[in-house]
Chain A
């Protein structure tokens, strides 16, 4: 790269922040154990296993048993982090998540690794663009989709401290560290306004937050003042933040997930009962073709360009 080109920001794999933070939490709390389905490597938990082999439970390729075992470990006083590829964890073991974790209100932390189209080239069996939709229906279960390594670390800490079930959506797709004030702190159930605005609200989660901020920059260049909200906590939902977004009269939601039932659906449910306004829901329309995550984001408009365009459309549809 020549010195005259702008320097790209460093990109981080959030699994590293997950694993490093879990190590710190486990160091001070010996109730922390991990449960995996031969997913040590893909969860980046090799260091944990080496350090605490007796606190590492590998059930093999058996997701139903994995989640049931997690519930049992919680019954026995442990704080299990059940970590597996999100597609298998949430789909194969959905009834165990419903009954053994959510309904039981067990102190289990489910960690959905490489969600969305993290496994882009491997195809729809390995994509996990439904997970937030089907988990969002389950009472008691907190759902967190962190936006960057800092928030991932905060979310792991919050999950360990929270008494009750949590689902963490940990991405492998490289993201920059987002700019935040020094006193920033993640809290389950609280949205984070990263940029104030008055013309349109862009509500994003996970890897899409950085693109939302880029879109807001582009909109500003065109004289449009966009608010950017990081909705990392999909459940419980910060309804006050969504009502504030609806007060602007135009909303765009953007997520690495199906357009149906995820963040966009959650926002729409709140807005419909408060102050209906146009909402452009950006996400994936169906089973995705093969392609790298970056290719799929570009193909389906999950880019700063796509968000900017959707914001202008939402504004043009704004009710008078």
Chain B
């Protein structure tokens, strides 16, 4: 709900992708990640990288609810000189791990953190969220290959599989399927889950001492989730609601 208000006030943003990833972010920050908003740079923290940085509205909202940044700061989203840039900047916003925005950057960075953890025998975990259209970027597959090769069991990739990209369906643009088979071929474990079911997500993210490979969680989501007129509509990749549309969305979200 924060994210929609932010997009409404800023008159720009990416509401569809915010809404598809919100349940994943909430599950991670409130049920999985070992992070402390009072010590956001503590060396043993778990890391979460939002590689689909355009869903910054959802990330900032979650960081605010988790205590990393003040809730009041959200109303400055994308306003002139705001620390809440349209894409996250770790030097300005506590809790942000990587300056994402250009797609295909998060997974390589996550691989580097996972390798650092492995060298140090540290027990922190590294999570990275990409879009599904984002997997068209070749750098992801360079990183996926390296992850399998290095057996990065401390790395979890979550694919926000909402099936839409900016201009059309992923399947009509440059299809990423068979996605699970691709990651298995790159020597990953793969699970498919409902990306809006916190229980299923928690099960998928549960630590496992037996794990010997990186884990890809394909989270099946709905772009614009929770708002009837936005759901699964390509036009809401970066649409801005009118006042009437916002009121309707808020009604639906608070009722759900």
Contact = CB atoms under 8 A, between A and B. Distances in A.
Contact of B91 (A35, A54, A71, A104): A104
Nearest to B53: A99
Interface in A62-120: 62, 64-65, 67-78, 80, 95-96, 99-100, 103-105
A103 B101 CA distance: 11
Interface in B213-237: none
B104 A99 contact: no
Contacts of A57: 115
B102 A59 contact: no
A3 B246 CA distance: 90
Given A62-B145, A68-B108, A76 B115 contact: yes
Interface residues of B, number: 34
Contacts of A201: none
Contacts of B146: 59-60, 62, 65, 69
A277 to B, nearest CB: 39
A100 B104 CA distance: 11
Contacts of A74: 112
Interface string B44-82: 000100000000000000000000000000000000000
A177 interface: no
Given A59-B142, A73-B116, A75-B47, A99 B111 contact: no
B212 interface: no
B90 interface: yes
A318 interface: no
B91 A68 contact: no
A71 B142 contact: no
A55 interface: yes
Nearest to B124: A76
A72 B99 contact: no
B114 interface: yes
A57 to B, nearest CB: 6
A78 B99 CA distance: 18
Contacts of A45: none
A100 B113 contact: no
B109 interface: yes
A99 B102 contact: yes
Given A54-B119, A64-B108, A65-B142, A76 B102 contact: no
Contacts of B111: 65, 68-69, 72
B117 interface: yes
A229 B98 CA distance: 39
Contacts of B115: 57, 69, 72-73, 76
Contacts of A78: 116, 119
A64 B104 contact: yes
B219 to A, nearest CB: 22
A64 B139 contact: yes
Contacts of B116: 33, 72-73, 75-78
Given A60-B145, A62-B142, A64-B142, A95 B112 contact: no
B97 interface: yes
A103 B99 contact: yes
A70 B113 CA distance: 9
B110 interface: yes
Given A64-B138, A104-B99, A75 B113 contact: yes
Closest 8 CB pairs of A and B: A72-B112, A76-B116, A68-B108, A65-B142, A62-B142, A69-B112, A64-B139, A72-B109
Interface of A: 33, 35, 54-55, 57, 59-60, 62, 64-65, 67-78, 80, 95-96, 99-100, 103-105
